[in-house]
Structure 1
Amino acid sequence: MNNNINIFYKNHSNIYKVLLFIATTFLIVFLFPKSGRFKYNFEKGKPWQTENLYAPFNFAIKKNKSEIDKEKELLKSQSIAYFNRNEKVKSSVFNAFEKSFSNVFSDSIPNYNILKEKSSQILDEFYEFGILSENIKLKPEKTVIILENNVEKETANFKNLFNQSEVKSTVENELKEVFTPKEINSIIALFFNVIKPNLTYNKTLTENVLNEALQSISVNRGMIEKETLIISKGEIVNDNKFQILNSLVNEYESKDWTKSNYYWIVFAYTLLVALALLMLLLFIRKYRIDVFNNNTKVTFIFFNIFVVVLLTTLVVSYKSEYVYIVPIAILPLVLKAFFDARLGLFAHVITVLLLGSIVPNSYEYMFLQIIAGIVTILTVSELYKRANLFISVGQITLIYIIAYFAFFVIHEASIENIHTQTFVLFILCGLATLFVQPLIYVYEKLFGLVSDVSLLELSDTNSKLLKELSNKAPGTFHHSLNVANLAEASANEINANAMLVRVGALYHDIGKMKNPTYFTENQSSGINSHDELSPKESAQIIINHVINGIEIAKKNNLPDRVIDFIRTHHGTSQVYYFYMKEKANNEGVNIEDFSYPGPKPFSKETAILMMCDSVEAASKSLKEPTSAKIDNFVENIINKQKDEGQFLNADITFKEIEAIKKVLKRKLANIYHLRIEYPE
């Protein structure tokens, strides 16, 4: 039982990675569509590249959206409007007219009978179909059906129906050639008193009938029988063939699959996703072993990949045309900010390959996103500078637009019907990519990581910890500033992370705050605190500044990447002065009592700090420095560290070490340059 526990404890990190790998694989597979996927790729206007294609089963040819829209517009233009007519209104209006006419006109006037007959004819004309109760705007040729008690009575055109506003103009036109203006005005006034609308627009029935007609539109325009030749090899995929092939794809992917088919599809997707994630893990293990050994960082990478797949799946499920609004470029941006460009690009490519299984036009999508990822890695640098991010996002958006334009022209052979709304999606995608700044801040808090933005904040010498260092150990603070300048220049020379190494240099000696007077740079009074201690005790105080620095850093929540500089800046070297002093009195001295606990530097940046720290500290002992003295001095110190194997764990080359030597020699020569003494 104890053996099993020990084995589990020793391998708990690898066990965690296996569980994380399995969990991420199944979560991504869960998001994928579980239908079959058509095995051929084709593009409109391009030749069919594979063998002759025969229909594998009977299927209907689907109409495209434009065909269905045309049918809908035709139905809407040919639809019928329904009106309810009150049959009692007409008789009551005519009765009122008979009574009112006798009261308004005297039967003694010459045209009494003609006027009455003509007025009755006009009234008959108004009520032949009816008068509308509201002002309805329909096309004059629109067919209308008039209902009485929900029974169809008459069919007419809308122009045959009258609005109340038309009464005056109609009466004037009918009577102006026969009767006087006074008589016409009297008739108009009479009509306005007796006429009542009898037609009401039945909007509900009209819309219901139209909706039924729209729903009855067939989405199919024909059938393809099984074993029918669909397209031959080399044949151009024209509009008709493209629609038939799309119909086959839709039918194939919406086909009802048996449980056995379903499980095979899930199994196949699991293999593909697992293979992609395994390649990512192997890449990290081979090229970024420090990241591989840190479970938090591996979790962070897998988490980001899953979030990108989740967002893309949700957008595709809602509306696949919006797939380009998902800011995929955030993934390489984030990974570059926390790790490096190579890891960011590799993870981005793996993610895009996974997304190829769920997005439409997968080749076009993958090409666009991989190109965008490459541009992101090449253009985005120094994220803490806001202008750089805006410029890079602009370049990424431009690349999206150019690549999409090229694909569209290849497909359509013209730019007449180019989808400008897709360009708007790219612009929105670019704006969403700017969200990377607050996202990096959130990730720093959630996962305890550090980015260049945080490093910029930590490099502020007015920060609480550095101000405390300058107050308690001013000599150490000044030494740290000098080391930071040397280290930054060296890092720039070999393309290392200059911001990281500068911050590491500023904080590498904060442990000296605990016993500042035991370090020569802080001894301003001329009294040496070591005079009262044995060499072994003195060495222990010197060595403990590393441990004290780690404790202070953790107490002040410094990131692990900065603490690594405190831990490694002396490697496993010895406090040589006190070792030799003890050895003079005791031949049996144990050198381990005078050695720093390590570890040795394990990155370019920590190796740079070790070199710069040793050179800057020892340079204080130079008397009457010359160029030759400085050159020999730098060579001796760094060669000694190299001979002791201090750089064996760091991924730094001999060529880079030589380049750093040159930088240090040049910088020290500038610092110790002797001025010409002018006569007084």
Structure 2
Amino acid sequence: MINFDFFGRKFIFKIEKISTKKEKKKLPDDKIFINRIMFFILFLFFFSISNYIQIFRKNPYKIGDTLQKPIIAPFTFKYSDEEKKKEIIDNLIKNSEGIYERNRVVEQKVFEDLSTFINAMKYENSKLKIDYINAVLPLLSKTDIEKLLNIKDYDKLHSQILLELNNYFNQGIKEKDLIKIKNSLNSNSELPKKIAVSFLKSNYIFSYEKTEEKLKNELLNIKDVNITINAGDIILKKNEVITKEKLKMLNQLGLFNMRDNFKIFFGTFIYLIILSIIFYFALERNIKDKILNNNIFLATAIITIIYFITSRFIAKNLFWLLPFEAITLILGLLVNINYSLIINGFLLLYLLPIFGYNYQLFIILLFSLIFTSGLIKSIKNRTDMVSVGLYISLIKILVGTAVLLISKKNIVNIILMNSELFGSGIFSGMLTIALLPYFEETFNILTKLKLVELGDLSHPLLRKMALEAPGTFNHSMLVATLSEQAAECIGADSTFTRVACYYHDIGKMKRPNFYVENQHSGVNPHDNLSPTLSTMIIKAHTKDGQEMGKKYKIPKEIRDIMAEHQGTTLLAYFYNKVKKNNPDINESDFRYDGPKPKTKESAIIMLADSIEAAVRSMDDKNPLEVEKMVRRIIGNKMEDAQLSDADLTLKEIELIINSFVKTFQGVYHSRIKYPGQK
């Protein structure tokens, strides 16, 4: 806007930029949210179910084919191996022992034959005895026969033989046992034992009926042989020849069974539909404002897309190595814990079909997700993420060991899987350290870690300000102290408020001597300038600060404070100076360009900035006078509608006033005069 007087008449020219391009109509927030969420959900839906599209292929193999590439299970499932069950049944029938029953009749007949033999030995003549012995006791040698003939007490021999027979019968003699016993006899064996074995018969007779009944019961107890195929397991290796048995196995696995495949596909489809509906409402009710933020949405979408593509095409046996917790850490640090927990919780549910419904991996990752979310608060700097990665590894090992033991995995598998879980936790921490700075810078997202780095007074921009504009630097430090305490009192982000104060006046470094806090020689450059030009110079520090902030890659949230901390405040000194000579002067020419503070933090910084300068100029800094000054300045800001967009309540403003007064008491407290001190 240009104005000048010509022969007593005032002329005003307003210059506006005419856009040659058609302005695009801005979509309402609800429409933007729906578009973004539909894109997000459709992507997750497609990738989650794409793993199952291949199950509709017909079996392309036949007996005798050689595999050109290995066949890998696309998902985890179980099947009943009928061939293995048949093999178990055959081995059972082959190795099953029959049931034998003791036959007392056989034993009694043996005892009777023995009595007959003993009586014959007592009363027959020697020639008949020898013929009888040879016929009845073929196991006896000539020496044994001579001993038998010379025995005087046959009753005693009878008792000894009976004792031997009873021992054998009580043990239970089968046909195969009888042969072994006879073969075990030798010349050194005692005579009663040889005679007993000669009369011995098997007293345990095979029972066909009971054996058949036992076998039937054993066969009924044989369960199906269920084989678990985990997602990623190699079913058939490369260059392996397809045999009849292996072809049956492929069909039994259901990879090419259209009916079973359709059931799996349809079940997964229903699962993902229900999950997507729940996901939509969870986002709408809890984190809609975050999704509407372009930078946050793009960062989330890119992280998710990369992870899902990796999960979809990586070898299934490497799932345990995936650094799933890196997403939790990055989103938790970029946005907040609640956002990360919701997004990653649903991502885990969407990944379940890709994992082949592997409940073991799901449980481990679920516990890890909850544990990692709790660890985010403990991260104060980037090196803490290494420790967090180690803690994640430990919790995954503990949960993994429990789950794998319940799943009856052998010790070798438990050790191997736990080593992969340990690596995934460490990798998550390292990956977060590597990727977080890129997401912070690319999407201009201010994180707490970035705030900690910006709050370091050795930052190049702050060091430059301390050297080139020391007055402004000290002013910024005091404003930071005032603002941080006030923000903490009303529950605002005190860390962000403090760091933003450090940088809010960096634009003054371009012309430091034009600001009173940097004037130490008593020379004021404004004395030689017109009020209009002085106004332009003073107002420029907000834009100069934003440009300098971009150059030094200061986040947008802090650059916004550089513009908002002055709002549209009137530079009253220069305005009143011009108005004395020109009552018709346009007041808007002497106001800052704005915008007005849009957040509580920005409003606090505006108030602290004005109040610090005013209180510093006071001669009497007693608490009552300071409070009057604080209330007067804040009242003026409210009357000028500078706080209209900041959403501050009257109660919060009162808390801010009390905080300012209390802080000033600490800064400008009275000091004890020591002896000899003027």
How would you bin the TM-score normalised by the shorter chain? 0.5 to 0.7
1:658, distance to aligned residue in structure 2 (A): 4.7
Whether 1:28 and 2:26 are equivalent positions in the alignment is no
Cα distance in 2 for partners of 1:399, 1:656 equals 43
Cα offset for 1:18? 7.0
Displacement of 1:438 after TM fit? Answer: 1.2
Give the equivalent residue in structure 1 for 2:141: none
1:423 to 404, 418, 442: 418
**Aligned-pair distance for 1:663?**
3.8
Pair 1:256-2:258 in alignment: yes
Is residue 2:478 matched to residue 1:482? yes
Partner of 1:432: 427
Q: Deviations over 1:213-235 (max 9, x none)?
A: 996656979x9xxxxxxxxxxxx
Deviations along 1:64-114, one digit per CA (max 9) or x if unpaired, are 99x79x99xx9xxxxxxxxxxxxxxxxxxxxxxxxxxxxxxxxxxxxxxxx
Structure 2 match to 1:169: none
- Contact 1:276–1:350 (CA under 8 A) maintained in structure 2: no
Aligned equivalent of 2:316: 318
Q: Hey, what does 2:80 align to over in structure 1?
A: 62
Q: Distance in 1 between matches of 2:282 and 2:572?
A: 45
Report the alpha carbon displacement of residue 463 of structure 1 after superposing the two structures with TM. 3.9
Change in 2 beyond 3 A, CA 1:346/1:32:
closer
- The Cα shift of 1:283 comes to 5.4
The aligned amino acid for 2:425 is G
Structure 1 letter corresponding to 2:587: I
Q: CA deviation at 1:640?
A: 4.2
> Relative to structure 1, is the Cα distance of residues 326 and 260 closer, same or farther in structure 2, using a 3 angstrom cutoff?
closer
In structure 1, C-alpha distance between the alignment counterparts of 2:32 and 2:576, rounded to whole Å: 48
Report the 3-state secondary structure (helix = DSSP H, G, I; strand = E; otherwise coil) of the residue aligned with 1:419: helix
Match 2:620 to one of 620, 624, 636: 624
- CA shift for structure 1 position 674: 0.6
Select the structure of larger CA radius of gyration: 2
1:538-557, aligned counterparts within 5 Å? 538-557=534-553
One-letter amino acid matched to 1:31: F
Structure 1 residue 582: deviation in Å? 4.2
Output the CA distance in 2 between the equivalents of 1:561 and 1:64.
Answer: 67
- Tell me the secondary structure at the aligned position of residue 342 of structure 2: helix
Structure 1 278/470 Cα, relative in aligned 2: closer, same or farther at 3 Å?
same
Matches within 5 A, 1:87-486: 251=254, 255-256=257-258, 275=277, 278-279=280-281, 282=284, 286-288=288-290, 292-293=292-293, 295-315=294-314, 317-319=315-317, 322-361=318-357, 368-381=364-377, 383=379, 385-386=381-382, 388-404=384-400, 419-435=414-430, 436-486=432-482
Cα distance in 1 for residues equivalent to 2:572 and 2:399: 63
| TM-score, L = length of structure 1 | 0.60
**Is 2:520 the counterpart of 1:521?**
no
Q: Is the alpha carbon distance of 1:495 and 1:330 closer, same or farther for their aligned partners in structure 2, counting shifts above 3 Å?
A: farther
1:261-296: CA deviation from partner (whole Å, max 9, x where unpaired): 9998998688568646745763587434xx624x34
Does structure 1 retain, via aligned residues, the 8 Å contact 2:568–2:592? Answer: yes
Q: 2:662 is matched with which residue? A: 666
Distance in 2 of aligned mates of 1:524 and 1:331? 53
Aligned 8 A contact 2:401 2:414 in 1: no
Give yes or no for contact 2:504–2:545 (8 Å, CA) kept in 1: yes
Residues in 2 aligned to 1:406 and 1:635: alpha-carbon distance in whole angstroms? 63
The AA in structure 1 aligned to 2:602 is: T
Alpha-carbon contact 1:600-1:647 (below 8 Å) kept: yes
Q: Give the TM-score normalised by structure 2.
A: 0.60
Q: CA RMSD in A?
A: 4.7
Contact 2:393–2:421 under 8 Å retained in 1:
yes
Q: 1:431 to 1:61 in 2, by over 3 A?
A: closer
The separation in 1 between residues aligned to 2:620 and 2:574, in whole angstroms, is 26
1:614 aligns with 610
Distance 1:584 1:369, change over 3 A: farther
Mean alpha-carbon deviation: is it higher for 605-614 or for 274-283?
Answer: 274-283
Quick one: structure 1 residues 389 and 489, their matched pair in 2 at CA, closer, same or farther if it must change by over 3 Å? farther
Whichever residue aligns with residue 564 of structure 1, its letter is: D
* 1:487-498 → structure 2 map (5 Å cutoff): 487-492=483-488, 496-498=492-494
| 3-state SS in 2 of match to 1:331 | helix
Cα 1:417–1:561 change in 2 (3 A) is same
Structure 1 pair 510–376 and aligned structure 2 pair: CA distance change class (3 A): same
Tell me how far apart the structure 1 counterparts of residues 242 and 264 of structure 2 sit (CA, whole Å): 35
| Change over 3 Å in CA distance of 1:419–1:468 after alignment to 2 | closer
CA positional deviation for 1:348: 1.9
Could you tell me how far apart the structure 2 residues matched to 1:662 and 1:64 are? 82
Letter in 2 for 1:471: L
Distance 1:281 1:597, change over 3 A: farther
Unaligned runs of 5+ in 1: 39-58, 75-210, 224-246
Q: Deviations over 1:178-223 (max 9, x none)?
A: xxxxxxxxxxxxxxxxxxxxxxxxxxxxxxxxx99996656979x9
Q: Percent identity?
A: 27
1:10–1:464: structure 2 CA closer, same or farther, 3 Å change rule?
Answer: same
Provide the C-alpha distance between the structure 1 equivalents of 2:446 and 2:272, rounded to a whole number of angstroms. 33
Q: 1:649 to 1:364 in 2, by over 3 A?
A: farther
Q: What is the letter of the counterpart of residue 539 of structure 2?
A: I
* Offset of residue 671 of structure 1: 0.9
1:509 and 2:505 aligned: yes
Aligned residue identity for 1:292: L
* Structure 2 residue aligned with 1:80: none
Offset of residue 411 of structure 1: 6.5
* Aligned mates of 1:537, 1:285 — CA distance in 2: 47
- Whole-Å Cα distance in 2 between the matches of residues 423 and 260 of structure 1? 35
Query: How far, CA to CA, are the matches of 1:372 and 1:314 in structure 2?
Result: 23
Tell me the equivalent position of 1:116. Answer: none
- Mapped to 1, the partners of 2:624 and 2:382 lie a distance apart of 44
In structure 2, relative to structure 1, the CA distance for the partners of 1:461 and 1:446 (3 Å cut) is: same
2: distance between equivalents of 1:364 and 1:260? 25
For the residues of structure 1 that align with 2:20 and 2:287, how far apart are their CA atoms? 26
Query: Is contact 1:583-1:589 (8 Å) kept?
Result: yes
In structure 1, C-alpha distance between the alignment counterparts of 2:244 and 2:440, rounded to whole Å? 57
Deviation of 1:608 (Å): 3.4
Given candidates 559, 565, 568, the residue that maps to 2:561 is: 565
Report the 3-state secondary structure (helix = DSSP H, G, I; strand = E; otherwise coil) of the residue aligned with 2:377.
Answer: coil
Q: Answer whether contact 1:26 1:270 (CA < 8 A) is retained.
A: no
Q: How many residues align?
A: 486
Residue 621 of structure 1 deviates from its aligned partner by: 1.8
Contact 2:29 2:292 in 1 (8 A): no
Q: Contact 1:539–1:575 (CA<8 Å) still a contact in 2?
A: yes
Contact 1:611–1:638 (CA under 8 A) maintained in structure 2? yes
Matched AA of 1:310: I
For residues 4 and 474 of structure 1, the distance between their equivalents in structure 2, rounded to whole angstroms, comes to 46
Partner of 2:568, secondary structure, is coil
Is the 2:49–2:269 Cα contact (8 Å) retained in structure 1?
no
Q: Output the CA distance in 1 between the equivalents of 2:344 and 2:651.
A: 31
